[in-house]
Chain A
Amino acid sequence: MTQARDEIKIGGLGASRKRVEDNRFVRGKGRYVDDIVLPGMLHMEILRSPLAHARITSIDVSKAWQIPGVRLVLTGDMMAARNLAWMPTLSYDTQAVLATDKVRFQGQEVACVVADDPYIAKDACEAIVVEYEPLPVIVNPAQAVAEGAPVIRDDKENQPDNVVFTWEVGDKAGTDRAFAQADVVSTLDLHYPRSHPSPLECCGSIADFDRSTSKLTVYMTTQAPHIIRAAVALVAELPEHMIRIVSPDLGGGFGNKVPVYPGYVASILASILLERPVKWIEDKTGNLISTGFGRDIYLRGEMALRNDGKILGVRMYTDSDHGAFFSDAQPSKFKIGLLHSAFSCYDIPVAHLVNRGVYTNKAPGGVAYRCSFRVTEAMYFQERMVQAAADDLGMDQAEFRRRNFVRDDDFPHRTPWGFLTDSGQYGKCLDVGLEAIGYQDFLTEKEEARKQGRLLGIGISTMTEPLGAGNSREYDILGIKMFDSAELRVHITGKAILRTGAKSQGQGHETTWAQIVAHELGIPAEDITVEEGDTDTAPFGMGTYASRSTPVAGAAVSMVARKVRAKARKLAAHLLEVSEEDIEWELGRFYVRSAPDHGVTIQECAIAAYSNMPDGMEPGLENVAYYDPPNLTWPFGCYIATVEVDPQTGVWDVLRVVAVDDCGVRINPMIVEGQIMGGLTEAYAMANMQFITFDAQGNCVGSNYMDYLLPTAWETPGYELHEVVTPSPHHPIGAKGVGECATVGGPAAFVNAVMDAIRDTGVRNIDMPLLPDRVYEALTKRHDVSGAPPVRTDDE
């Protein structure tokens, strides 16, 4: 007989537990950075460059100082005097905090004003007079590497051109041989456009330097507080124990809140100089034109194919546009992130990838926008190439994928670019998706519709992606290894507090981490408080991005709970007066193997840890665990969209979207589904409308929500979700990352669907977003449509 707690009832693994954080959010009682008010707080605003590339000839701040209520005006020269005009980036480059010599992108930070209120600070910014001497502007990689191109980073030694790096992986000679044997070579040129993560809340900080204690406290919008603490220690040359970073509630992040931004640094310096708290809250235009963009990669892709559908080899030649500073956070070994995880779900003998990164006169970009370091580009390229290859062979797109999938019994599987995928049932996921959408019926319907001049299309996208960096052998940022941590304290009454080095931005960690503890210890989830984001209390962690929370911090939560359980077992043996070997565990309770009725609960063990421990045992019931994952986790997604394109206008409507996600064991199915639907919406947005482009002068087209189009409830389609469960073989509870799968895999499903609908035109590609005018151009002119900047603007 068993007295184990019912896992779902106590809010354990698999429970669709309501979120505990909602209670404050629905009351408007969230505490975001801009909600925090400190006594004596001042306000900072930033003056930004209107030009994309220009030499600064003079800055006159005298009129700004004359405005009553202005407390400080900061310029690049003042920063330089303190050795703070430049700061190191997370990718071993440097970035200007405030411009000294020249501006290198539109929106670059030129000066800051600190004043009694933000209105005065804005007025004073407008009173600053800056004279610029315009320079030639570069907005794409082709211009960047052209003969005679102006060198953007003339501040750097040994930087004779605009190439940031060249990075190569795979077997070039072997790939050449595979192509020599191919029956068919399929090629495709693609651009994954620049986009912005654009969380609804912009970036901001409140720096509070206390001269009397020498302590600097910074409340800020960061997804990785401990990395920021290390960076501030380096940049501001303050001792690390005197820096406290607090990341309160975040209004979304999606990768935008990982880098270190000049505004943070300037607010810190201002607080040190003025000895008062200084708040900086970015406006939306500042956020969109200057902070971490995502994507912006150009591909020439080639596949060597055999007539029976077998992929013999793959080549990917890519150019990535990093903007003026290489400041995205990538694992330091992999310059272009995990782009080389492309094609991991297919059994490909040999492959070769070369990436060239370039500087341009655009804001620094390439952050992991809802993606595990460039996997979004990888999987989009992969799935567009796969569809083109199937078309070139005249083969059904589902059948072509199935024929090349890694088989279920072939794990762990080594990819040609060196990853080791852990597990999956790819064919099954595809079958579930095809069944759900009614694949054969839709193909028939499509043919019928075509006879009436209607254009229907179906697009499939299947992919596995590496989530949960690192292991520490291969993954580090600035040399800090990518592990994560959790600390668990069980109180005397059996309630507990858990802290981790991760940082929720809407993912619901306060809810789900407690569920993992409930699963491991049988303590009801509602008895566990979860805290994150304060570097003075949380154990060191690398933060939350790249879908790494559940794979890494979540695993640490499991491991720390197991450590606590191991001590509780000793306490149980003491209470039950038997030896540890004679004890069994069931959820929430230890019992004597030979007498199952004779047992103690975990709560009774907790009391004993403080009141009745055996001789020689250290009191207390708490522990900390640092988890270094043996591998990444490899979830699988199959996304299928059906669309109808209007031949008169190029407008396309989504008919249905089916998503099949295999993210291993689901901690909280409700939250997982919420993540998938959010991800699908970003995928739809990328395919349909959401991009940031530039004109020939480097003006950002998309600097506010009137120009940067995000879907509302009205445009956004409904979703049909399905699941397959293949537990991760190495994660302690078999979970895999999931937060970005749909964003990564989704875009190709929509684009493939539109390309399928207009297949009769012979057009191979329209670059995202598939705006009606681009689709219309493809339909009427019957040629591919590129979306690369510069774009024509209304003034031209």
Chain B
Amino acid sequence: MTGLYEEIREEPAADVPVRRVSITVNGAKRTADVEPRLLLAHLLRQGFTLTGTHVGCDTTNCGACTVLLDGQPVKSCTMLAVQADGHEVTTVEGLAGPSELHPIQEGFSDEHGLQCGFCTPGMMLAAKALLETNPDPTEDEVRWALSGNLCRCTGYQNIVKSILWAARKLQSQAGT
């Protein structure tokens, strides 16, 4: 409970088991009591109101819910919140501060890498994980790294260009 009060329901509360989890989300430690069956995506979206993580399917196929768990891309719709206990999660809201953009975000805007924007947070986080291990990827390597993320609008060509744009910018920032 984080508000000033918590209403006590008149009807008997369901016999629901609850587990306490602590997750470091975008650098800040968040603690919550959750049902064991609660999906990480739903905790992030409804519990922590980080609605940039989207849900686009029920079968772990679309990647709209992709977040980074200790730096690795995971599908937060396929992970229980309790499994993330004690881990670090990065969502799209954690990519950059309020005033500046991360080069990947700039790249998507510059190369028209999004249309409706629904797949975009997941795409960007998959891209972040790629560029951290492979700062100078080929087009094929980018396409392969994105193969767990669906986009219905762009046809991918501009998404690939966006990520290559970001790779160049990150490399020039790093002075290589």
Contacts and interface: CB of A to CB of B under 8 A. Distances in A.
B50 A26 contact: no
A716 B151 CA distance: 11
A201 B118 contact: yes
A790 interface: no
Contact of B55 (A29, A34, A254, A675): A34
A200 B147 contact: no
Nearest to B94: A28
Contacts of B59: 284, 704-706
A734 interface: no
Contacts of A200: 54, 56, 62, 64, 116, 118-119, 150-152
B50 A28 contact: yes
A26 B118 contact: no
Interface centre among B64, B93, B124, B153, by most A CB within 10 Å?
B153
5 contacts: A34-B51, A202-B56, A710-B150, A714-B147, A719-B157
B155 A67 contact: no
A767 to B, nearest CB: 23
Contacts of A705: 57, 59, 61-62, 150
A713 to B, nearest CB: 4
Nearest to B124: A26
Contact of A26 (B37, B101, B115, B143): B101
Given A678-B115, A713-B142, 7 more contacts: A28-B51, A119-B38, A251-B56, A284-B58, A284-B59, A681-B155, A716-B156
Contact of B158 (A252, A677, A704, A714): A677
B153 A18 contact: no
A68 B14 contact: yes
A24 B105 CA distance: 10
A158 interface: no
Interface string A115-135: 000011000000000000000
Contacts of B95: 27-28
A21 B153 CA distance: 15
B109 interface: yes
Given A23-B109, A35-B51, A506 B157 contact: no
B16 to A, nearest CB: 9
A505 B159 contact: no
B49 interface: yes
Interface string B58-82: 1101101000000000000000000
Interface centre among B105, B148, B157, B158, by most A CB within 10 Å?
B157
Interface residues of A, number: 60
B93 A505 contact: no
Contacts of A680: 155
Contact of A252 (B37, B112, B143, B153): B153
A67 B13 CA distance: 10
A671 interface: yes
A257 to B, nearest CB: 11
A31 B117 CA distance: 10
B154 A674 contact: yes
Nearest to B64: A200
Contacts of B101: 26-27
A284 B57 contact: yes
Contacts of A30: 52, 117-118
Interface string A420-464: 000000000000000000000000000000000000000000000
Given A27-B105, A68-B12, A713 B146 contact: yes
Contacts of B156: 681, 712-713, 716
Interface of B: 11-14, 35, 37-38, 45-46, 49-59, 61-62, 64, 91-93, 95-96, 101, 105, 108-110, 112, 114-121, 124, 142-144, 146-160
Nearest to A24: B117
Closest 5 CB pairs of A and B: A28-B52, A25-B117, A251-B118, A506-B116, A28-B92
B19 to A, nearest CB: 15
A505 B152 CA distance: 12
Contacts of B115: 252, 506-508, 674-675, 678
A684 to B, nearest CB: 8
A754 B61 CA distance: 28
A234 interface: no
Contacts of B109: 18-19, 22-23, 26
B108 to A, nearest CB: 5
Nearest to A120: B14
B57 A704 contact: yes
- If over half of A's interface residues share one DSSP class (helix, strand or loop), that class is named, otherwise mixed; here it is loop
Interface string A600-635: 000000000000000000000000000000000000
A29 B121 CA distance: 10
A249 interface: yes
B118 A32 contact: yes
Interface centre among A284, A680, A719, by most B CB within 10 Å?
A284
Interface string A703-738: 011100010111010110000000000000000000
A18 B64 CA distance: 23
Nearest to A671: B112
A274 to B, nearest CB: 15
A37 interface: yes
A23 B154 CA distance: 17
Contacts of B149: 712-713
Nearest to B55: A34
A28 B58 contact: no
B116 A199 contact: yes
B75 to A, nearest CB: 12
A285 interface: yes
A219 to B, nearest CB: 14
Contact of A713 (B37, B120, B147): B147
A792 B59 CA distance: 23
Interface string A668-710: 0011011101111110000000000000000000001110001
A204 to B, nearest CB: 11
Contacts of B46: 37
Contact of A712 (B50, B116, B117, B147): B147
B162 to A, nearest CB: 10
Interface in A497-543: 505-508
B58 A714 contact: no
A198 B146 contact: no
Interface string A251-283: 110100000000000000000000000000001
Contacts of B112: 18-19, 670-671, 673-674
Nearest to A254: B152
A282 B50 CA distance: 20
A764 B101 CA distance: 54
Contacts of A28: 50-53, 91-93, 95, 121
A677 B116 CA distance: 14
A69 interface: yes
Contacts of B53: 28
A26 B108 contact: yes
A504 to B, nearest CB: 9
